Homo-oligomer: A and B are copies of this chain.
Amino acid sequence: MILKSQVEWALHCCAILAGLPDGSYLSTKALAELHGLPKEYLSKALQSLSQASLVETTLGPSGGYRLARPSSEISFLDIVEAVEGKARSFTCTNIRENNPCRPAGYCDSKPCAVARVMWEADEAWRNTLRRVRLSDLVDTLSEEVPPDIWRSTFEWVLKRAG
């Protein structure tokens, strides 16, 4: 069980978009250069964010992406699910139905106890991600990233934002 690397990309890109001034956009090209990522493939991740209505886009020169909502109203889970999908990590294939001792046509009243535990763990994972807002991440980063790097990064970004 491994998450796509696109998850890391999308989270970092959203953190950058959260720091943009209102009304300006940042292009895939800039985000790819900033993070050293393949532009074409990063574009797929950003499209996922767009389809999930987490970001808005505009075309043409000075076009690109911006957040569709304030960063305090976007959770880690929103971003992770946009890229990774909302499907649960554990899928029950109902192997209990193959038990040869079962009467034919017997129908279970509940989902399997095994699956319920696995789904509970999945929910715990999602709840953790649900509780962390994008704005929390930006707060943490602005504390931890050395001020000169933080500043020069946003100068770099603003130079390319439309």
Chain A residues near B (Cβ < 8 Å): 1-5, 7-9, 11-12, 15, 33-37, 76, 84, 87, 89-93, 95-103, 106, 110, 113-115, 117-118, 120-122, 124-129, 132, 137, 140-141, 144, 146, 149, 152-153, 155-156
Q: Which 10 A-B pairs have the closest CB atoms?
A: A36-B98, A121-B128, A125-B125, A101-B152, A113-B140, A124-B124, A124-B128, A35-B95, A101-B153, A11-B114
Chain B residues near A99: list those with CB within 8 A.
34-35, 149, 153
In the complex, the chain B residue whose C-beta lies closest to that of A2 is B89
- Distance from A12 Cβ to chain B, minimum over Cβ atoms (Å): 6
A149 in contact with B101 (CB, 8 Å): yes
Beyond the given A11-B114, A100-B156, A117-B128, please list 9 additional residue pairs across the A-B interface where CB-CB is below 8 A.
Answer: A1-B89, A8-B92, A8-B95, A99-B149, A99-B153, A106-B146, A113-B140, A117-B132, A117-B137
Assuming the contacts A8-B95, A117-B129, A156-B101, asked whether A87 and B2 have C-beta atoms less than 8 A apart, the reply is: yes
Chain B residues near A35: list those with CB within 8 A.
95-96, 98-99
- Distance from A140 Cβ to chain B, minimum over Cβ atoms (Å): 4
